[in-house]
Amino acid sequence: MIYKSFKVFIIFIAMTVFLCQFNYAEAIPDVAAKSYIVIDADSGRIISSRNANEKLPIASTTKIMTTILSIENADNLTQKIEVPAFSTGIEGSSIYLKPRQMVSITDLLYGTMLRSGNDAAETLAAFTGRNSQEGFVSMMNDKAVEIGAYNTCFANACGLHDDNHYSTAYDLALISKYAMRNETFKEIVSTVKYKAESLNTILYNKNKVVLEYEYGSGVKIGYTKAAGRCLVASAEKEGIEIIVVVLNDNDWFNDSYKLFDWAFENYKNYSIVEKNQYVGTASDGKPVFISDSFTYLLTEDEKNKVRFELNITTPHIVNNKNNTIYGTYNIFLKNELIHTGSLMGN
């Protein structure tokens, strides 16, 4: 009987949290990419994709992983490090570093992401990998597995073509979602122009998303003959951040803009439950509350397809804040589990 009263109350929440009215989702725009994906950067929800798990060369979008690893493993980003000879004179994009030149880690990070400098990326890799390029590549692959990018294999830090260097649109979206949670990374990739003091130059961002698209916030372009034009892009509007990945796409920027426009037009963030929201009374007579807030990206049509399932138990665990756990709740969109949380006492 208690279970039913909880269920009715939770379903009532589901029926009342959705107050705004929007149009039903419009058709997904056609894009030229061989593979693409569109995700919500907060929840990771995939809202559109094609061939998103196909393993493909990814060119300099590789540098997203190089940069976030370098940031996470640096004790002092202002530190100047020596450029090793083997990191200079590399084919492809360059910031024209010279052997034994002293450059700050920060300037190398900007040189890697804004100008796609292969020499900057390899210098960061050498430093972070303790002068072992193979060691850094191993770190990249370990981090990919940690993030959940299981169909990714890195062979170098800069993205030059190698048959054993590949990823997928889905994996790149996961890696970018992870990287964009780092404030230093996010600041770098959103920068239009940067003055690199240790290089005595100004670096301009090659990623036109941050220049042309009104809500653009990052991330990285890439190109080789084998990979074609590759783009990982992000945009943020009204509290929603969308990540788009297009691989082997001759109309890479325009396609990303179309996908952003479609996503922002048709999806909104809805508050499903709020932290400390009262949901009823347990069998011991104590009030029970939702443990955490949860919002999710939904279309107008999907709002009424959210449902709840509860697992009410007798109080059994007390955490370090002296909160009693009364069970768990699951939130589903149709038949897909989108969130699990706890029911807490006080």
- Give the DSSP letter string of 230-286: EEEEEEEETTEEEEEEEES-TTHHHHHHHHHHHHHHH-EEEEEE-TT-EEEE-TTS-
One domain for residues 125 and 244: yes
One domain for residues 97 and 166: yes
Average pLDDT over residues 4-26: 40
Specify the DSSP element, H or E, that contains 340.
strand 336-344
- The last residue of one of the domains, among 250, 280, 306, is 250
* Residue span of the structural domain in which 57 resides: 35-250
- Whether residue 103 contacts residue 123, with contact meaning beta carbons closer than 8 Å, is answered with yes
Q: Name the DSSP letter for residue 166.
A: B
Average pLDDT over residues 18-32: 60
The catalytic site residues sit at: 60, 63, 116
pTM attached to this predicted model: 0.87
- Take residue 42 and report the two structure tokens written for it: 């907060």
Q: Let me know if 68 is exposed, middle or buried by CB neighbors in 10 A (0-12, 13-18, 19+).
A: buried
Cα–Cα distance between 58 and 166 in angstroms, integer? Answer: 6
- Flag whether pLDDT at 329 surpasses 90: no
One domain for residues 303 and 207: no
Cα–Cα distance between 49 and 245 in angstroms, integer? Answer: 9
pLDDT at 8: 37
Q: Using one digit for the tens of pLDDT, what is the confidence trace for 100-140?
A: 999 999 999 999 999 999 999 999 999 999 988 899 999 99
pLDDT at 319: 64
User: What CATH number does the domain containing 233 carry?
Assistant: 3.40.710.10
- Flag whether pLDDT at 261 surpasses 90: yes
Specify the DSSP element, H or E, that contains 173.
helix 169-179
- Take residue 62 and report the two structure tokens written for it: 């590789």
Q: Which residue has the higher pLDDT, 16 or 239?
A: 239
Mean pLDDT of the chain: 89
Cα–Cα distance between 216 and 235 in angstroms, integer? Answer: 4
- The last residue of one of the domains, among 217, 250, 283, is 250
One domain for residues 211 and 327: no
